[in-house]
Amino acid sequence: MAAESVSILYGSLPLDDNFGGSTNDEGSMNVHVDPLTIHLADDVMHVKAWEFPGWGSATSESADPAELKDLDATLVAATHAHRLGEWPATAICGNDILSSCLYTAGIVAVRAGKLAPVAMAVVAAILYLYRYIYGEVVNAIPLNGGSYNALLNTTTKRIASVAAALGILSYVATGVVSGTSACTYLQSLVPSLPIVHASVGLLFFFALLSIIGIRESAGVALVIFVVHTTTLIVLCGMSVVFLIQDKAAILRANFHADYPDVSVAGAAYAVLVLVSTHVGQIRVHGSLSTALFFGTCTAMLGISGFETSAQFVEDQAPGVFPKTLRNMWWGVAIFNPSISFLSLAVLPLPILTTHKDTVLSAMAKAVGGRGLETWVAVDAFVVLSGAVLTAYVGITGLVRRLALDRILPSGLLATNRWRGTNHWIVLAYFGISASLVVALRGQVDTLSGVYTFAFLALMILFGVGCMLLKFKRSDLLKQHAEGRENAPWGVVVVGVGCMVLALGGNLVSDPAVLSIACVYFSIVMGIVMVMFERVFVLRLLLALVTAMWPKSKGEKKRTAAGDGNGAELLNGHRNNSSGDQSTTGDDIGNDGGGGYVDESSSAGASPFHALSSPGMSIARAIHAINGPPILFFCKRPHLPTLNKAILYVRQNEQTAQLYIVHVTEKREDMDAFASVVSLFDRIYPKLKIDFVQVVTHGYVGFGPAVVEWVSRKYHTPKNLMFIKQPSHDCAHTIANNMLYPSQDREMKQLTFTCRNCSHNERVPEHCIYVNKLVKDARNQMDVLPEDIIDDPTLQRDFDVVCPMCGQQGAAFIRSHDGVKQSTLALIWICLNRDCQTDDNGNRLPTHRWMDDAFR
């Protein structure tokens, strides 16, 4: 049964005369176009019935303004509820990064000798660059995921999955290595302590703590962080005293020692010296260059944990993330070089290299005796245990994001009624980590090398993500108030280059790590890719089953036709002979559609009936996986944008249904928009494309409340919704998968909105918008809002000349000089009642304070 020829006005053609275009200030061409009408001829599309999701429809939905207002208030309250402050967030990742000095000081001394402090300082300088790389990316896209999040917004999901696999591998290695290292330190005090059993018990304890909740875990982490920092300060202070009393004799002796020899892979050495040699380990005579290079490469392990803060940024209060980066950098810059230098002043190099795994305990014993040694050993156990907690927090944030993006099973998102935490993620991580401890029998040297490989690879990928963000998403990058969070191209290139050299140096000095790391990485990547490509795997399995169990002889050929029955067939319902499609709202612009018809069987036949029983089960599984829809919010029917969105969904998402959602404040004639969507619905028969118009009835248009309303209406998580990259003037930006007020520019137009009548009006130009909403419920702006008056971070200038009326009596409120935060609004408030009045002396509407929030 063939479809009738249909004419659809869907696009446009450029005019003659140099394409009828003009070039704007940014160098882009504005092309003037004429209408183009396309005639769809009769056609037959050969698509299996069970793969056809049905033709799309056009629907209009009405959102209640009162409901949107309640959602807006709920979202604003949720933004600031149960968020981590500066120091709890710093403690979670700081325990990992500051615990690294427990083992890096010794192993760096083995490679760099007397240049170990210099190598530590070089690493701190490289980390300073990454402080701004991380700040710029996360400031633009403040979502959990770290490197995965950066690559997801600049590349494809398949490429981002590589970073996800490395992240999972890194956190598994972190938990196992830190747990066993903590128990090894404790064994120095309790020789009979079984490492394997103690490590498993430690992992289980922090699993329970993670199930209790991140805020409670952060409290424990903060206590550990304070105790460890105090211990390091005491140890450094007593080491300085020892240095003075010893008159730097040990330090001078160490500085007169030769540079240590290093072992490198034979193949790498051949490349470096341009000679032919056998493949194997070669002992290279130590020099200043080898000590500095290999010492710096090894010292990179001393900053592990820096990437963790980006994994739980959604759990941090606004403005906290850059502070955690700053605090971690200061911790690394102060303690790592200082402890490395003081270890050379306290311990002779032979003793230092002998006790390379317990350098701090050896230092404590030398400067403070047995008592201080015991204190340091207990502190090492505690802070390494804190690194285990960091691994739990990091893996929870990462896996939760991957599950929301349907890269890992959605069952991992289940929360318990007791604390509302993702217990399956925690328990799965505990099971994997504990099994590794048992399998390796507590010997985690090889896993330490894997951890180094995974960590450095993640840092490189994050830097590459920053480069791609600059290149492909430059408008998305937002400048901090003082521009300090921006990473210039030179900073990014140098930072990534240093990380690449560090990774290469570690692999050259221990090439066995690469093969071991590849084995572990292949296992994790295989699991991730099977989940990501599970539809493709099932289709291969279906083809195999179909070949082994041939189709029934009664199967009939299916063709595409135009009677509107496709959706009914897919759902196994009886066909609607009228060809109408049911919609949940007011039907607009529906052109009837088409469907799949069996020319000889009953119209009500199931699309799976031609498959054998095993094949039918597999096809139903594919159907279930492709069931959840994807939503794309679209402002206008721009053909290239719509096509790119559809191609992205086909290449990256596992779905058979796409909603094109258009939000408008009042009902409009959307037949043209619906026709364009209908055209794309015909072009991609394996993807059901529906058009949805959401009418807010005078309430502010596209924004957080509308996104939340649509999410609830269609039972679709916000991770399965996306928009085109916001323009530079967009009033919203991305955070927590919702849209919040933009920080792109200082000058913003605002709107007053009345909660009773939904009336809204533009704010006069003299209101200068920076970031957060200023809230008050006053009807007149002749009195300063109390929340502005009581805010200690604001500076006020009264009796200022009003830029509107030219009289004194205005107040100008702004941030105090030196206050670094992004939670304020700079605003002019004129206290002159005669300012902006009509002929009768009545104040104009633009001077009313209509609502408790700017929108």
Q: Would you say residue 852 lies in a domain? A: no
User: How do residues 613-671 score in pLDDT, each as one tens digit?
Assistant: 777 788 888 888 888 899 999 988 888 889 999 999 998 888 999 999 999 887 877 88
- Same domain? For 510 and 640 the reply is no
**pLDDT at residue 285, rounded to an integer:** 79
- Same domain? For 64 and 37 the reply is no
Q: Look at residue 129 and tell me whether its pLDDT is greater than 60.
A: yes
User: Distance between CA 357 and CA 347 in Å, rounded?
Assistant: 14
Mean of the pLDDT values across residues 504-523?
82
Distance, C-alpha 349 to centroid of its chain: 44
**pLDDT at residue 235, rounded to an integer:** 94
User: Distance between CA 843 and CA 752 in Å, rounded?
Assistant: 15
Residues in the chain: 855
Both tokens assigned to 718: 């916000």
Using only the alpha carbons of the chain, give its radius of gyration.
Answer: 32
- Same domain? For 104 and 211 the reply is yes
- Percent of the chain predicted with pLDDT > 70: 67
Highest mean pLDDT among 35-39, 330-334, 600-604, 737-741: 330-334
Both tokens assigned to 840: 């009768």
Both tokens assigned to 646: 């559809």
Measured CA distances, 330 to 97, 336, 337, 382, 394 (Å)? 11, 10, 11, 21, 21
**pLDDT at residue 667, rounded to an integer:** 80
**pLDDT at residue 232, rounded to an integer:** 94
Q: Would you say residue 540 lies in a domain? A: no
User: Distance between CA 714 and CA 629 in Å, rounded?
Assistant: 9
Relative to beta strand 794-801, strand 808-815 is antiparallel
Q: Look at residue 587 and tell me whether its pLDDT is greater than 80.
A: no
Q: What pairs with residue 827 in β-bridges?
A: 767, 813
- Same domain? For 722 and 834 the reply is no
Element (H, E) at 40: strand 33-40
Do 279 and 264 meet the contact criterion of CB atoms below 8 Å apart?
no
Better pLDDT: 444 or 726: 444
Both tokens assigned to 126: 């490289």
Q: What pairs with residue 658 in β-bridges?
A: 630, 689
Q: Look at residue 573 and tell me whether its pLDDT is greater than 50.
A: no
User: Distance between CA 622 and CA 635 in Å, rounded?
Assistant: 32
**pLDDT at residue 767, rounded to an integer:** 36
- Percent of the chain predicted with pLDDT > 90: 18
- Same domain? For 522 and 595 the reply is no
**pLDDT at residue 82, rounded to an integer:** 65
- Same domain? For 630 and 513 the reply is no
Q: Look at residue 140 and tell me whether its pLDDT is greater than 60.
A: yes
- Same domain? For 758 and 711 the reply is no
Task: Give residue for tokens 């922090």.
Answer: 206
User: How do residues 191-212 score in pLDDT, each as one tens digit?
Assistant: 888 888 999 999 999 898 888 8
What is this structure's pTM?
0.73
Domain residues for 680? 44-72+553-610+626-741
- Same domain? For 491 and 558 the reply is no
**pLDDT at residue 343, rounded to an integer:** 92
Q: Would you say residue 121 lies in a domain? A: yes
Mean of the pLDDT values across residues 462-485?
71
Last residue of a domain, one of 714, 741, 768: 741
User: How do residues 219-254 score in pLDDT, each as one tens digit?
Assistant: 888 898 999 999 999 999 999 999 999 888 999 999
Mean of the pLDDT values across residues 703-724?
87
pLDDT bin (cut points 50, 70, 90) of residue 795 is: low
User: How do residues 425-461 score in pLDDT, each as one tens digit?
Assistant: 999 999 988 888 888 887 777 777 788 888 899 999 9
Q: What pairs with residue 620 in β-bridges?
A: none
Burial of 333 (0-12, 13-18, 19+ CB in 10 A): middle
Task: Give residue for tokens 């000058």.
Answer: 747
Number of H helices, E strands in the chain: 25, 22
User: Distance between CA 288 and CA 290 in Å, rounded?
Assistant: 6
Q: Give the number of domains in the chain.
A: 4
Closest CA to 706 of 231, 276, 217, 75: 75
CATH at 370: 1.20.1740.10
The DSSP secondary-structure symbol of 474 reads: G
The answer to which of 335-349, 438-452, 666-680 has the lowest mean pLDDT is 438-452
User: How do residues 66-103 score in pLDDT, each as one tens digit?
Assistant: 888 888 777 776 665 667 888 888 988 888 888 888 87
User: Distance between CA 80 and CA 256 in Å, rounded?
Assistant: 57
The DSSP secondary-structure symbol of 585 reads: S
Do 171 and 451 meet the contact criterion of CB atoms below 8 Å apart?
no
Who contacts 492 (Cβ-Cβ below 8 Å, separation ≥6)? 129, 133, 463, 466, 467, 470
Mean residue pLDDT of the chain comes to 73
SS3 163: helix
Task: Give residue for tokens 């020892």.
Answer: 242
User: Distance between CA 753 and CA 550 in Å, rounded?
Assistant: 65
pLDDT bin (cut points 50, 70, 90) of residue 758 is: very low
**pLDDT at residue 2, rounded to an integer:** 41
**pLDDT at residue 629, rounded to an integer:** 92
Closest CA to 132 of 588, 488, 402: 488
Better pLDDT: 429 or 583: 429
- Same domain? For 50 and 32 the reply is no
**pLDDT at residue 799, rounded to an integer:** 58
Q: Would you say residue 539 lies in a domain? A: no
User: How do residues 526-565 score in pLDDT, each as one tens digit?
Assistant: 888 888 888 888 888 888 887 777 665 544 444 333 333 3
What backbone torsions phi and psi does residue 245 show, to the nearest 5 degrees? -65, -35
pLDDT bin (cut points 50, 70, 90) of residue 485 is: low
User: How do residues 358-380 score in pLDDT, each as one tens digit?
Assistant: 888 889 999 988 899 899 988 98
**Dihedral sign computed on CA atoms, order 600, 601, 604, 609:** negative
**pLDDT at residue 610, rounded to an integer:** 57
Count CA within 13 A, CB hemisphere, residue 244: 6
Better pLDDT: 47 or 690: 690
- Same domain? For 494 and 375 the reply is yes
Buried-state track 451-483, b at ≥16 Cβ within 10 A, e below 16: bbbbbbbbbbbbbbbbbbbbeeeeebbbebbee
What backbone torsions phi and psi does residue 377 show, to the nearest 5 degrees? -65, -40
Which one-letter amino acid corresponds to residue 250?
I
Our CA dihedral for 759, 765, 770, 776, rounded to 10 degrees, sits at -40
Task: Give residue for tokens 């102060």.
Answer: 334
Count CA within 13 A, CB hemisphere, residue 495: 27
Do 782 and 831 meet the contact criterion of CB atoms below 8 Å apart?
yes
**pLDDT at residue 271, rounded to an integer:** 44
Buried-state track 85-111, b at ≥16 Cβ within 10 A, e below 16: ebbbbbbbbbbbbbbbbbbbbbbbbbb
Task: Give residue for tokens 């502005």.
Answer: 788
Both tokens assigned to 341: 């230098």
**pLDDT at residue 438, rounded to an integer:** 87
Q: Look at residue 133 and tell me whether its pLDDT is greater than 80.
A: yes
Both tokens assigned to 342: 């003081």
Both tokens assigned to 671: 């037949």
**Dihedral sign computed on CA atoms, order 71, 72, 74, 75:** positive
Relative to beta strand 58-62, strand 29-31 is unpaired
- Same domain? For 474 and 419 the reply is yes
E strand map for 512-656 = 558-561, 586-587, 595-598, 630-633
Q: Look at residue 151 and tell me whether its pLDDT is greater than 70.
A: yes
Buried-state track 637-647, b at ≥16 Cβ within 10 A, e below 16: beeeebeebbe
**pLDDT at residue 403, rounded to an integer:** 87
**pLDDT at residue 397, rounded to an integer:** 83
Q: Where are the alpha helices (DSSP H) in 141-213?
A: 147-152, 157-187, 195-212
**pLDDT at residue 24, rounded to an integer:** 52
**pLDDT at residue 217, rounded to an integer:** 73
**pLDDT at residue 847, rounded to an integer:** 32
Q: Would you say residue 313 lies in a domain? A: yes
Termini Cα distance of the chain: 53
Highest mean pLDDT among 261-270, 502-511, 554-563: 502-511
Determine how many CB atoms are found less than 10 A away from the CB of residue 289.
Answer: 9
**pLDDT at residue 19, rounded to an integer:** 39
Q: Look at residue 762 and tell me whether its pLDDT is greater than 70.
A: no
Last residue of a domain, one of 706, 741, 776: 741
Closest CA to 96 of 358, 393, 462: 393
Who contacts 809 (Cβ-Cβ below 8 Å, separation ≥6)? 799, 802, 830, 831, 832, 835
Do 106 and 298 meet the contact criterion of CB atoms below 8 Å apart?
no
**pLDDT at residue 478, rounded to an integer:** 55
Both tokens assigned to 708: 């939340």
Mean of the pLDDT values across residues 392-397?
86
Closest CA to 358 of 331, 370, 376: 376
Q: Look at residue 187 and tell me whether its pLDDT is greater than 90.
A: no
**pLDDT at residue 230, rounded to an integer:** 94
Closest CA to 832 of 855, 788, 796, 798: 798
**pLDDT at residue 460, rounded to an integer:** 94
The DSSP secondary-structure symbol of 85 reads: -
Q: Would you say residue 615 lies in a domain? A: no
- Same domain? For 603 and 520 the reply is no
What backbone torsions phi and psi does residue 567 show, to the nearest 5 degrees? -65, -35
**pLDDT at residue 327, rounded to an integer:** 92
Q: Would you say residue 9 lies in a domain? A: yes
Q: Would you say residue 416 lies in a domain? A: yes
User: How do residues 801-835 score in pLDDT, each as one tens digit?
Assistant: 655 555 555 555 554 444 443 333 344 445 454 55
